[in-house]
Structure 1
């Protein structure tokens, strides 16, 4: 199903369900497909030079649709390029983000940090607890050491022993890592909101997982995800606008010994009312074949970071996400990707999305 919202000099076309979704309205993808919607002056100029089609996106007027940007799936379900952005993120790419000037950031917002041991254990899990009266609505994590050999399998708000905590798990790839590495995590905590609930959506597939979880009549205020043993998350996050849902994309590890099929679960954290002034800012790296790509997205002035999203795109086989990092001191998030031990000679890139509120 498509929706259109006109700006002053362009049309934004959004896909409510990607062609590779497992939503009830569409069967799982069993053939290649191709969708194009391009944005941004640099990409537009490049496509004009090559004589390719493009749709100009104007940042002059705020829109509330959820565009899908250049999804290409080729033989073997290789994900070429997919990214779902809010209007605020589109305007960020165009360099024209404007923000309100509230008196203060999110009331009662707090961040809780935790660090694992620095050792060679294959799986590391952290459970982060908020102060009494507060709940974890989202969080971030990053790995130190074991570059390309460890993936973050889980960043999930969950009810544990009567309290809403953040559970974070990272795991070495199927053939392991001989050295020492560490897992760090940050929980985003707010006062317990009215109508707090959690909605999960899962998908199992041997090649490509795309799962979403919607808050329905409630409003999304946070998100999380988990992926099954040896699975590699390729993208995760949430969209609090008209989409009002969390998402995860995952694939099997390309290292020998991977467990197949893979199950991915998206978790939407919902409440009766959304947080004020929620917006998203998305930034991407260069698209090339170099190893080690890191990108930071910063929340606008007078807002506070409350979540991190992003992922890998283009030819993302043999790449893994090392960081879904929340940086409270700089009011930003960082997403970092590395190639696995086999390397990736093809073009790939990473995106980071900062979820912000006032």
Structure 2
């Protein structure tokens, strides 16, 4: 089957559900009607055939320190090519897409489902979008993206919040324009990997001191015996002047560290950074996959891909040597089917001569 056969006829984005062993496709025009009644089944290709990127370094919880084993690096991709080929801006017309996997009640991640939603595409200085799991399901992991139709707005919009709510039923993503602002239209979108509640599931929160230091970090740690399955981060009172630099689950999957940096102009505001760890009892096949970009002074992306036979639970990222001049604009799966975290970062405002890198982290497990 040709890949175009399973794309939305209007947007070109794979708007679909998995129904048992078949792939059910629904078009944008029919989403307002009964979705199930408009699905047309077609045979599903193996998941591994849908992407061209190979898996990066796989770290089991016994692997040790964050950077000890992950040495796989990818050639950076220019941001215009990334924007056109991967970000899928036509998503703006297709809110609340979802992908459902059929799984037995005894599965380790029963009822696994990925849901997306997107904010308005306009030039408002701040905007948020909240995506909600289907009834009875919980957020296991998160993803976020900023999209600008012309690309220029990327340099003036920061990810401020990637916040799973306390009951783990929804995820909110917020973007802020920086002090310079932009006249370009832009949007934020949120993706949540949801499932039936798994044993021991809870959200752990840690908040930094509130002050005007130029950078700060905080770590949320899972209770003893539990492991990280998902993550989130939030800047409070940064108002576009503070960038999320790291949203990093450690390699042992025991904690999540979030770091914020003031941008080149800084701020006199007192601000905080919050780390969220979504914790649960250990799952079969639970692992962190890490991939590093090349080190250079240009915008770049990198993908961390879950091994065959596992599903993506969560997306995380880390910028090295960006120190407030580099911002994350993408951290999550590029569509409804891929089991990988594509992470992209761009130099903000006037850029930097520093050489820097961006790391992508995927948390994966056996479904």
For the criterion TM > 0.5, the same-fold answer is: yes
Displacement of 1:169: 0.9
Distance 1:240 1:312, change over 3 A: closer
The answer as to 2:198 corresponding to 1:193 is yes
Contact 2:61–2:288 under 8 Å retained in 1: no
Q: How does 1:38-187 map to 2 (within 5 A)?
A: 64=62, 66-67=64-65, 84-85=66-67, 90=69, 93=72, 106-145=109-148, 146-159=153-166, 164-187=169-192
The Cα shift of 1:250 comes to 0.9
How far, CA to CA, are the matches of 1:253 and 1:261 in structure 2?
Answer: 14
Superposition deviation, residue 94 in structure 1: 9.6
Structure 1 residue 179 displacement after superposition = 1.5
When the two chains are superposed, the root-mean-square deviation of aligned CA atoms in Å is: 2.7
Task: Please give the per-residue CA displacement for 1:16-45, whole angstroms capped at 9, x wherever unaligned.
Answer: xxxxxxxxxxxxxxxxxxxxxxxxxxxxxx
Deviation at 1:113, TM superposition (A): 0.5
Flag the 1:175–1:198 CA change in 2: closer, same or farther, 3 A. same
The size of the alignment, in residue pairs, is 268
Distance across 1 between alignment mates of 2:63 and 2:291: 19
Say which SS state the counterpart of residue 72 (structure 2) adopts.
Answer: helix
In structure 2, relative to structure 1, the CA distance for the partners of 1:315 and 1:225 (3 Å cut) is closer
Give the deviation of 1:269 after TM superposition: 1.4
Asked if the contact 1:141/1:168 (under 8 Å) is kept, the reply is: yes
Q: Any conservation in 2 of the 1:252–1:260 contact (CA below 8 Å)?
A: no
Whether 2:323 is the aligned partner of 1:316: answer yes
Partner residue, 2:311: 304
Q: Does 1:270 align with 2:279?
A: yes
Query: Would the aligned equivalents of 2:73 and 2:293 in 1 still touch at CA under 8 Å?
Result: no
Indicate conservation of the 8 Å contact 1:289/1:347, yes or no: yes
> Which whole-Å CA distance do the structure 2 matches of 1:315 and 1:168 have between them?
22
The Cα offsets for residues 253-303 of structure 1, whole Å up to 9 and x where unpaired, read as 2236x35443111011123x122211111111111112x211111111001
Consecutive unaligned residues of structure 1, counting only runs of 5 or more, are: 1-58, 68-83, 96-102
Q: What residue is the counterpart of 2:300 in the other structure?
A: 293
Check whether the contact 2:229–2:363 (CA below 8 A) recurs between aligned residues.
no
| Corresponding residue number in structure 1 for 2:245 | 234
Deviations, residues 285-339 of structure 1 (Å, cap 9, x unaligned): 111112x211111111001111111121024331111111223422111111111
Give the TM-score normalised by structure 1: 0.69
Q: Is the 8 A contact 1:252 1:262 kept in 2?
A: no
Cα deviation, residue 223, structure 1:
1.6
Checking the alignment, whether the CA contact within 8 Å between 2:71 and 2:292 is kept in structure 1 is no
Deviations 1:108-144 (A, max 9, x none): 1100100111101111111111111101122111111
Give the match for residue 249 of structure 1. 259
Gaps of 5+ in 2: 1-56, 75-103
The 1-side partners of 2:139 and 2:251 are apart by 17
Tell me by how many angstroms 1:66 deviates: 3.4
Q: Relative CO higher for 1 or 2, CA cutoff 8 Å, sep ≥ 6?
A: 2
Question: Do the aligned partners of 1:219 and 1:240 also contact (CA within 8 Å) in 2?
Answer: no
Relative to structure 1, the CA distance from residue 167 to residue 303 in structure 2 (aligned partners, 3 Å threshold; closer, same or farther) is same
TM-score scaled by length of structure 2:
0.67
